[in-house]
Amino acid sequence: MVQFLVHEKADTVGVATVDIKAGEIAKGLYMDTQDPVEVKALQDIPLGHKIALADHAAGGGVTKYGEDIGKVVQDIRPGEHVHTHNLKTRRW
Mean pLDDT of 5-17: 97
pLDDT score of 67: 93
For residue range 28-82, what is the model confidence (pLDDT) as tens digits?
Answer: 999 999 999 999 999 999 999 999 999 999 999 999 999 999 999 999 999 999 9
Domain residue ranges in the chain: 4-88
What is the sign, positive or negative, of the torsion defined by CA atoms of 75, 53, 49, 68?
Answer: positive
With residues binned 3-state (H G I as helix, E B as strand, rest as coil), the percentages for the chain, rounded to 5, are 0, 40, 60
Predicted TM-score of the model (pTM): 0.95
Number of alpha carbons in the 13 Å side-chain half-sphere of residue 88: 10
Could you tell me the pLDDT band of residue 91, with boundaries at 50, 70 and 90? confident
The span from the first CA to the last CA of the chain, in angstroms, equals 37
Q: CATH top-level class for 4-88?
A: mainly beta
